Amino acid sequence: MYLKKIELHGFKSFADKSVIEFQPGITGIVGPNGCGKSNISDAVRWVLGEQSVKSLRGSNMSDVIFNGSEDRKAQSVAEVTLVFDNEDRFMNFDYNEVEITRRLYRQNNEAEYLINREPCRLKDIIDLIMDTGLGRDSLSIISQGNISSFADSKPEERRGMFEEAAGVAKYKKRKLESIRKLERTKDNLDRVEDICLELEKQIAPLRRQKEKAEVYLELKDQLQSIEVSVLVKEIENLSASLKELNDSLDSLDKEKVTIEGQILLNEQQNETLKKKMYDLDQEVNGLQGQLLTAMNNVNELETQKVEIDTNRKHILENTDKEDLQARIAQMRAILQDAVNEYNDRVNRYKETKEEKLDLEAAQEKNRSEMMALRQNIENLNLQLHNNRNRREQLVDIVENKSGYSYGVRSIMKAKDSLSGIIGVLGDLLESDAQYETALTTALAGAVQFIVTKTDQDAREAIHFLKENKSGRATFLPVEVMKPRSLRDDHLMVCQNFDGYLGVMSDFVRYPQEIESVVLNQLGNIILVDTLKHASALSRATFARYKVVTMDGEVVNIGGSLTGGTNKSQSSNFASKRELEMIKETIVSQEKEINHKKAKLNELDNLAREISHHLLQKQMSFAKLEVVVTNKKSELQVAKSEYESLTHRSVELSEIESGAQDNQLINELNEAKKLRDRLTESIQAKRELRMSFVNENDKLEETLRASRAHLREIQSEMTQKQVNKAKQETELSNYLLRLNDEYKMTYEFAKEEYTQEINMGEAKENVRLLRHKIDSLGNVNLQAIEDYQEVSTRYETLNSQRLDLINAQDSILKAIDEMDEIMISRFGETFEKINKEFNIVFRNLFGGGKAELRYSDPDNILETGIDIDVQPPGKAVQNITLFSGGEKALIAISCLFAILRVRPVPMCILDEVEAALDVANVERFAKYLREFSTQTQFIVVTHREGTMEECDLLYGATMQQKGVTKLVSVKLKDAIDLAGA
Ligand SMILES: Nc1ncnc2c1ncn2[C@@H]1O[C@H](COP(=O)(O)OP(=O)(O)OP(=O)(O)O)[C@@H](O)[C@H]1O
C-alpha cells in the first residue's frame, strides 16, 4: 500500500485545485520558507481524522479553509482527498484504490467524510486505518516539532508511539469501550438491585392482602350465588302475590262499578215512581174535584126534580101569573148581585190557584236542587273516604316508614334510646318535584342509610341491631364521611357540555350539620337532561362518575347503563309530596262538604217555608173552593130561583103544555152515570198508587242493601291497596338490591340463577356468609392485580439482574484477556525496539550505547518510556541533557528502531533532520533509502543530503502571492529552490 495521490482544493494555501502524485520510494518536497510545504502534511493529517486544531496549527477548524490573499478572495469550502494504492489489500478494504475525502464548509462549520466518494462517519475512517500504521500515534507523520519535543516529553507521553508499534491500540480502544460498558452495566445493575430490594419489601404484604382478597371474592361469589337466588325467589313470590292482588282488585273494581250502576238505576227508578205517584195524586185531586161537581150536579138535579115536582104542584095550586112576573123581576135583581159576587170569588180562586201552582213549582225546583246537592255530597263523601284511605297508606309509608328495611325501622323506633341518630338520609333531604326522580335514582339504596353524628354512634347502633336481632342497616357518620366532588379538570369539561345541569348535591336542601354526608353521597354524581348526554358526558370523564338523567336513567361508574320504567315504584319524596297534597285535598273536601251541607240546610229551610206557604195557599184555595161553591150555589140558587120563576112561568106554560119533566129525568140519569164513572176511576188510581208505594218500598230496601255491599267492597279494596303498596315497596327494595349490590336486572338474574333453593337454609347461609365477609375487615381487591404486577415485575427484574451479573463477569473476563494480550504484545515489541534502538544509535553516533526503560516496570499497561543513552566517549546520561542536534539524532534513532520492528506503509517526515549536521544528514538519508523498500517516504526538507536520496522531487512555489503551487523539479532546481 502507498499514497498515490493528494488532491487539495481550498485547503490552507492551496486555493486552486492541486493534485500531487506520489510513487513508492522517497519523494521530496522542497521550497522556500512559508510556501506551503507543511500544509501538505497538515492536509494528510486532517484527512486521516485529526481533530486537534492546535496540531493543525490553527485556532479553530475553519482556519484550514483558504482565507484569501491580496489577489484572491477566500474560499467557502476546503476539500482534501488521499488516494491510496491498495492492490496488496494492506488496508482491510476490497478495492484496489481507496479514496478518503474530508470536506469542511465555512458557513456552518459542517464536515463531510467520504470513502471512495460514499459519505461515511469519521469513525469509519478511523476504523479503516486502524492497525495500518497510519493511526493517530503512528509514525506516519512526523514533524520537526515531534523530533525536538521527543527528548523533552514525559516518559508517559512517549508511550503512544510504542503502543502503536505494538498494535495494541485497538485492544486499548476495545478495553476503553468495555470499561464504559462495564460502568453502564454496573449502573444498570445497581438500579435493578435497588428496585428488586424495593419490590421484595412490597411483595410479602401484598401477598397477604391478595390472599385475603381472594378469600373475600370466593365468599362474595358464594354470597352472590345464594343471595341472588333468594332475591329472585322473593321477587317471584311477590310478583305472583301482586298479580293475585291486582286480579282481585280488578274484579272488586268491576263488582263496585256494577253495584254503583245498579244503585244509580234503582235511584232513577225510585224517582220515576215518585213522579208517577205525584202525577197520580194530582190526577186523583182533579178527579175528586170533578166527582164533587158531579155529585153536586146529581144532588142539584134531584133537588130540582123534587122542587119541580113540588113546584109544579105548588104552581098549579098557587101560581098567580101576575105575582109571578113581579117576583121574576125581583129575582133578576138578586141574581145579578149573586153573579157579581160569584165572579169576584172565582177571580180570587184563580189567583190563589196560580199562587199555589207557583209554590208547587218552587217546591219541585227546591226538591230537585236538594236531590242534586245530596247526590253531590254523597259523591264528595265517597271521594273523601277514598282520600282518607290513601292518606292512611301514605302515612304508613312516610311516617311509619313501612317501606324501609326492618333494620332501619328498628333503629328509628329506638332513636331516643340511642345516641347521635340524626335520621334516615331520604327523610333529611328535600328537593323540587322535578328533581325527585333523578335524586331517588342518584341515592338508590342510600335513601335508607342512617345518618349519625359520629363513628361511635354508628357502632353503638350496629351493636344494638346485633343484640336485638333487629336486622341490618347502613350508617353514615357525619364526622367520618368525606365530601366528594368532581376533579377540577372534569368539572370544566362538564360545564362546557351540552345537557349538563349540575352536581346532584346542588339540587337538594338539607340541614347544615349533614353537609359532609350529602356531599359524600351526591357530591360526585352528575345530573344531565337526557340519556344521550349522560352517555357522552360519562365517556368524556372516562366513566369515573355516576351520571343520572331527569327521567331517572343512570350511566354508572365504569359505563354500564340502567334505565326503563318502573310503574309501581314511587319514591319516598313523591310519597311525601302526595301525602301533603292529599292532606290539603281532604281539608278542602271537608270544607266543601260542610259548605254544601249548609246549603242543603238552607234549601231544607226554604222547602219548609215553601211547604208552609203552600199549605196556607192550599187551605185558602180549599176555603175559596168552598166559598166559590157556596157563591156558585147561591148564584145557582138565585139563578135557579130566577130560572125557576122564569121557568115556572115557562113551566106554567109548559105545565100547561106538559113538556118539562122528561128532559130533567134525562139530565139526572147522565149526571149519575158521570158520578159513578169518576168514583171508579178514582178508586183504580188509588189502587195503582198503592202498588207504586209497595214498589217504592222494595226499591228503597234494595238500595240500602246495595249501598251496604258497596261500602264493604270499598273497604276490602282499601285493605288490598294497602297490602299492594307494601308489597310493591318490598318488591322495589329487592329489585334495588339486585341492581345496586349485584348490578343485575331481575330478568338476567332469573336466567342465570335458576337453582331450586330452600329459602330458610339459603337465608341462613346468606347471614353466615355476610358475617364471614364482615369479619374479614378491610379488603384491598386491587392487591390481586398489584401482587401479580409486582411479582411479575420482580421476576423480570431479577432475571435482568442475573443477566447483568453474567454480563459484568463476561466484560471483566474480556478486559482481563485484553490486558494480558496488551501486556504480552507491548512487552515483546518493547524488547525488540529496545534492541534495535541500541543498534541504530550505535550506527548513527558511531558507537556508544542506548537503552529504553520502563518508568514503571510493575505496571506494563501504563508505564512510561525512559531513555538512557551513552554516546561514544561520554557518560550515560538522560536524554534531556543532550544538545539539540544530539536530541534530534536520538529521536531519529528511536524512529528508525521502531520502523525496523514495525514498518509502516507510508511516512511523512517534515524537516525532521533540520538540526543535524551534514554528516548526520547523510547517515539519516542512507537509513531512509534502506527503509524505502518497505516504507513510502514523503520528506519535506531543506537539506541537500536528503534531496540527493529522493526518487522524485516537488518544488513548492507561490507564483501567485499566498497561493501554493507544486511542480516536479530536478535535484539542481530543488537545491536552488531550497536555497531561495
Ligand atoms: N487558511 C489559509 N489560507 C491561506 N494561506 C494560509 C492559510 N493557512 C496558512 N497559510 C499560509 O501558508 C504558509 C505557511 O505554510 P507552511 O508552513 O506550509 O510553509 P513551509 O513551506 O512549510 O515553510 P517553512 O519552510 O518555513 O517551514 C503561510 O504563508 C500562511 O500564510
**What are 757-796's pLDDT values in tens digits?**
888 888 899 899 999 999 988 999 899 999 999 999 999 9
As annotated, the binding site includes 32-39
> Does the C-beta of 41 come closer than 6 Å to ligand 1?
no
Indicate which atom in ligand 1 lies nearest the CA of residue 942.
25
CB atoms inside a 10 Å sphere around CB 599: 15
Q: Which one-letter DSSP state was computed for residue 779?
A: -
Ligand 1 pocket, mutate which of 12, 53, 66 (most atoms under 8 A from CB)? 12
Give residue 164 CA to ligand 1 midpoint distance, Å.
29
> Does the C-beta of 66 come closer than 6 Å to ligand 1?
yes
Answer for the pair 937, 26: CB distance below 8 angstroms, yes or no: yes
| pLDDT score of 583 | 92
Nearest CA to ligand 1 atom 24: 33
Mark out the alpha helices in 759-781 (DSSP H runs).
759-775
Indicate which atom in ligand 1 lies nearest the CA of residue 958.
29
117 Cβ partners below 8 Å, 6+ apart?
99, 101
Global confidence as pTM: 0.46
- Nearest Cα neighbor of 2 from 608, 903, 746, 757 is 903
> Does the C-beta of 33 come closer than 6 Å to ligand 1?
yes
Q: How far apart (Å, rounded) are the C-alpha atoms in residues 131 and 168?
A: 9
Rg of the chain (C-alpha set): 70
CATH of range 438-570; options 3.40.50.300, 3.10.150.10, 3.40.50.2000, 3.30.70.1620? 3.30.70.1620
950 Cβ partners below 8 Å, 6+ apart?
26, 27, 28, 939, 971, 974
CB atoms inside a 10 Å sphere around CB 914: 18
As annotated, the binding site for ATP includes 32-39
Answer for the pair 582, 391: CB distance below 8 angstroms, yes or no: yes
| pLDDT score of 569 | 46
Per DSSP, the three-state class of 115 is: strand
> Does the C-beta of 979 come closer than 6 Å to ligand 1?
no
Residue 184 CA: distances (Å) to CA of 201, 807, 808, 810, 816: 26, 11, 10, 14, 18
Identity of the amino acid at 382: L
> Does the C-beta of 977 come closer than 6 Å to ligand 1?
no
Ligand 1 pocket, mutate which of 6, 14, 35 (most atoms under 8 A from CB)? 35
| pLDDT score of 839 | 92
> Does the C-beta of 31 come closer than 6 Å to ligand 1?
yes
> Does the C-beta of 941 come closer than 6 Å to ligand 1?
no
Answer for the pair 345, 681: CB distance below 8 angstroms, yes or no: no
| pLDDT score of 385 | 92
| pLDDT score of 568 | 44
> Does the C-beta of 118 come closer than 6 Å to ligand 1?
no
Nearest CA to ligand 1 atom 14: 34
The Cα angle at residue 821 between residues 820 and 822, in degrees rounded to 5: 90
pLDDT digits (tens, 9 = 90+) for 913-964: 988 999 999 989 998 999 999 899 999 999 999 999 999 999 999 988 899 9
> Does the C-beta of 67 come closer than 6 Å to ligand 1?
yes
149 Cβ partners below 8 Å, 6+ apart?
none
> Does the C-beta of 36 come closer than 6 Å to ligand 1?
yes
Cell of 869: 543513552
Nearest CA to ligand 1 atom 15: 36
pLDDT digits (tens, 9 = 90+) for 268-292: 998 999 999 999 999 999 999 998 9
Nearest CA to ligand 1 atom 9: 12
* Residues of the chain under the 50 pLDDT cut: 567-569
| pLDDT score of 316 | 67
Helices 782-845 and 155-166 meet at what angle, rounded to 10? 100
- Domain spans of the chain? 438-570
Nearest CA to ligand 1 atom 25: 33
- Nearest Cα neighbor of 520 from 473, 552, 561, 479 is 479
| pLDDT score of 571 | 67
> Does the C-beta of 63 come closer than 6 Å to ligand 1?
yes
- Nearest Cα neighbor of 446 from 388, 372, 520 is 520
Nearest CA to ligand 1 atom 3: 66
Answer for the pair 5, 907: CB distance below 8 angstroms, yes or no: no
Indicate which atom in ligand 1 lies nearest the CA of residue 35.
21
- Nearest Cα neighbor of 213 from 780, 683, 602, 932 is 780
Nearest CA to ligand 1 atom 8: 12
> Does the C-beta of 39 come closer than 6 Å to ligand 1?
yes
Ligand 1 pocket, mutate which of 9, 13, 911 (most atoms under 8 A from CB)? 13
> Does the C-beta of 962 come closer than 6 Å to ligand 1?
yes
Give residue 957 CA to ligand 1 midpoint distance, Å.
11
| pLDDT score of 657 | 62
> Does the C-beta of 712 come closer than 6 Å to ligand 1?
no
| pLDDT score of 192 | 93
Answer for the pair 879, 850: CB distance below 8 angstroms, yes or no: no
> Does the C-beta of 521 come closer than 6 Å to ligand 1?
no
Residue the block writes with cell 122528561: 662
> Does the C-beta of 955 come closer than 6 Å to ligand 1?
no
> Does the C-beta of 403 come closer than 6 Å to ligand 1?
no
Give residue 129 CA to ligand 1 midpoint distance, Å.
27
Give residue 71 CA to ligand 1 midpoint distance, Å.
16
Per DSSP, the three-state class of 476 is: strand
Longest dimension (CA), the chain: 237
